[in-house]
Structure 1
Amino acid sequence: MSYELIALLMFSSMMLLLLTGKRVFGAIGFVAVVSALLLWGDGGSEIAFSAAMKLMKWYPLLTLPMFVFMGYMLSESGLADDLYRMFHVWMGPLHGGLAIGTIALMVAISAMNGLSVAGMAIGASIALPELLRRGYDKIMVTGVIQAGSSLGILIPPSVVLVLYGMIARQPVGQLWLAGVFPGLMMAGLFVLYIVIRCRLQPDLGPALPEEERQAISWTEKVRLLKAGIAPLFIFFSMTGLFLMGITSLVESSAVGAAAATLAALLKRRLTAQVMEETLRKTLGISCMFMWIILAALCFGAVFDGLGAVNAIEGFFVDRMNLGPWEILIMMQLSFILMGMFLDDTAMLVIVAPLYVPLVGALGFDLVWYGVLYTITCQIAYMTPPFGYNLFLMRAMAPPEVTLRDIYVSVTPFVLIMILALVLVMMFPQLALWLPQWHYAR
């Protein structure tokens, strides 16, 4: 049996196991270990062991539990509630202002969390009921929350970019900096869409009533600004110190986790229940990601041993006679297709052993490609019929928001994300300028 056929058999076996509903790391790790044993005998067992040791020795992986802890501490302690109240009061007088404030909230949560699901939980539980009560169009605001929460996997500290950095062997610090401008650009495009849409159709996003605005004194508005102090303090202590070169990447994650805990303590929100829930959820998420990375490393090692990457490159370049950009576009389309059925980590683990070396062989920058991959994951999150964010929203939304509403709501935001993807592909410096500038200093 040829190596190309073995690689195809491995890939199809893995997909078959995933379709049965087995856990991602279990299906991928099982196929990798069994294939290694069948191909190389007892010596094949060393592949899984080596992958485990590589994982345990990868120092930047310490950032993962730290950032997950920070995000859950903010969520469980209610600091995110205070932040939304501030945006609510200051942005409310504008048509669509509360929706714009929701995007701003999502950017802030993304800059302190790194996970999409945390932004979705906060948006659906805090922002969505308030927006609906204020008479906002349910289709528009449902799309706003889904699109805004997806920024969590692009704006640093993105956990997805940490996983990509581990698998693609790229510096996480550069990946994070590469995600800053594309993430802020996408958030700006979302805000621009809301402003234009609500200007054309003011009834979609009514402003706060005049009597309610007058009832809020300037003293109260200034007091509410204090709600933004804690997030700014956390963000500066984490990202600012890192950019100034005072702390390393791992040290920044520890500072961020400590700052979030200190903020909850000073606000008198740090109870035993909050700490228990934060630690329990952090442990669960961190262990899940570590198992997934371990399975990905093992699977990738077997693929490297087979030379499957060279075979795929030869198939695209020699047999199909495709150019580098055509191959890249096909990769992104396949990500969107898989995203209809899988989450971002599953997609990365499945195709990273194939795509990442191929991208490097085609002459593309792997840091830049990490941003492209992440934006494509955002699009896949919101693509029917089985986009990840669609079903999270369905589980959290009130009964009056139907599944059809959720599907319809994402259409303009998906188009905006595709525009952002095209812009980053056409102008790579949108992603690469900041890391190049910072690390050249």
Structure 2
Amino acid sequence: MSYEMIATLMFSSMMLMLLTGQRVFGAIGFIAVVSALLLWGDKGGYDIGFAAAMKLMKWYPLLTLPMFIFMGYVLSESRIADDLYKMFHVWMGGVRGGLAIGTIGLMVLISAMNGLSVAGMAIGSTIALPELLKRGYDKRMVTGVIQAGSSLGILVPPSVVLVLYAMIARQPVGQLWLAGVVPGLMMASMFIAYIVIRCWKNPDLGPVLPAADRDIPRAEKLRLLRAGILPLVIFAVMMVPFVNGWTSLVESSAIGAAAAFIAAVLKGRMTRTVFENSVRNTLGITCMFMWIILAALAFGAVFDGLGAVKAIESLFTEKMGLSPWMILILMQLSFILMGTFLDDTAMLVIVAPLYVPLVGALGFDLIWYGILYTITTQIAYMTPPFGYNLFLMRAMAPPEITLRDIYASITPFVLVMVLALILVMVFPQIATWLPDYIYDK
């Protein structure tokens, strides 16, 4: 049997198992182990899974994963995110669309606190959405704002998804996080620009808050400002030593987790319930990601042993005559298609053994490609009819927001994200400048 046929059989078997409702890591790991045993027998087949497990246990940067997840849950469970939105409510309420702009700012800060898009969606839906609707904001606009803003969680550091990509692609986590900073802030700025233009042309979409709602004592405004700045202080305490080379990435993650814990204690919000929920959620998500990484490493080892990547590269470049850029664009389109029924981690784990080595063989920068993958995943999350975030939004939104409203709300934001993707593809320096500058320094 040819290598191409074996690779096709492995992918089709894996997709079939996923369609039966099996867990992602279970389907991928099972196919990897069975394929290894069939290809190399008892002597070599057993070693592949064991070697993947040992590689995972020895990967020191993996310690950052529970640290950042714990930091995010502490800040979320202790309701520090509530203070953030109150700050935006007071300081931005006098601007047309100000609360929607503030919601984007909230999502950026939540992303810097947590690194998961689901967390941003949950906080935006429970804190921002009711307030925006109550203040007369257009329901379609605010629904799109929350979905688009929450997608920044997998791009703005400390992104958990980029940690997973770093492990599979064998790239430095620190460089990937730095590469996501400028594209993430650029995309947030583009969202804000869209909101400003829309509300300037049609003020009814985002009305200015009444003066009575904004007329509060200056001391209270300053208190809210300090509360809103707290997550930025935690992020700075964590990242400044790392960027300046004073600490390693793992040490910085421990500083961030400790700073979040101390902040919650000083504000009197670190109760037993908050601590237990934070630890339990951290353990659950960390274990899930470790199983996924283990399965991906085993699956990738089988592909490396087959030499399937070289065979597929030859198929695209020599037999089909496709240019490297055409192959790259086809990869991005396949992510958008898979995003209609898979989440970001599942998409990465399924195609990483094929795509990541192929991208490197085609001569592209794997740090830059990690950002392209992440932005494309964001778009796939919100592309009708079956985008992952669309159904999350429907589950969290009030009854008056229909699925039709959700579909209509996201279209302009998807177009903005496509523009951002094109800019990063045409100008790779948007993603590569900051990590190159910091690491050269």
Look up the match of 1:367: 367
Q: Summarize deviations over 1:284-317 as a string: whole Å, max 9, x none.
A: 1110000000000000000111111011101110
Q: Deviations over 1:236-281 (max 9, x none)?
A: 1111121121111011111111111111101100000001111111
1:334 maps to 334
Partner residue in 1 for 2:26: 26
- The alignment's TM-score, normalised by the length of structure 1, stands at 0.99
Q: CA–CA distance in 2 between the matches of 1:125 and 1:37?
A: 49
Superimposed CA distance per residue, residues 18-74 of structure 1 (whole angstroms, 9 cap, x where no aligned partner): 111110000000000001001111120100000000000000011111111111111
1:232 and 1:429 mapped to 2: Cα distance? 26
TM-score (norm 2): 0.99
In structure 2, what is the Cα distance between the partners aligned to 1:236 and 1:3?
49
Which residue identity lines up with residue 18 of structure 2 in the other structure?
L
1:170-202 deviation digits (Å, cap 9, x = unpaired):
001000000000000000000000000000110
Matches within 5 A, 1:265-280: 265-280=265-280
Letter in 1 for 2:241: L
C-alpha deviation, 1:403, in angstroms: 1.1
**Residue 285 of structure 2 corresponds to residue 252 of structure 1:** no
User: Cα deviation per residue 1:337-379 (whole Å; 9 max; x = unaligned)?
Assistant: 1011100000000110111111111110000000000000100
Separation of aligned partners in 2, 1:6 and 1:172: 32
CA shift, 1:320, in A, is: 1.1
Matches within 5 A, 1:209-224: 209-214=210-215, 216-224=216-224
**Residue 2 of structure 1: CA displacement?**
1.5
Distance 1:124 1:171 in 2: 34
- Stretches of structure 1 lacking an aligned partner (at least 5 in a row): none
Name the structure 2 match of 1:164. 165
- Counterpart Cα distance in 2 of 1:246 and 1:299: 37
Counterparts of 1:264 and 1:232 in 2: how far apart (Å)?
14
CA deviation profile, 1:138-197 (whole Å, cap 9, x unmatched): 110000001001001001111111100000000010000000000000000000000000
C-alpha displacement at 1:217, in angstroms?
2.2
Alignment of 1:157-236 (within 5 A): 157-214=158-215, 216-236=216-236
SS at match of 1:208: coil
Match of 1:408 in 2: 408
- The residue type paired with residue 260 of structure 2 is A
- Structure 1 residue 392: deviation in Å? 1.2
Mapped to 2, the partners of 1:374 and 1:318 lie a distance apart of: 29
Counterpart secondary structure, 1:379 = helix
How far the C-alpha of 1:97 sits from its partner, in A, is 0.1
Determine whether 1:434 maps to 2:434. yes
Distance 1:187 1:233 in 2: 20
Q: Read off the aligned partner of 1:422 and give its amino acid letter.
A: I
Identity %: 78
Which aligned pairs between 1:4-403 and structure 2 lie closer than 5 A? 4-42=4-42, 43-214=44-215, 216-403=216-403
Q: Aligned partners of 1:62 and 1:385: how far apart in 2?
A: 37
Distance in 2 (CA, whole Å) between partners of 1:386 and 1:265 is 42
Is 1:422–2:422 an aligned residue pair? Answer: yes
1:88 and 1:346 mapped to 2: Cα distance?
36
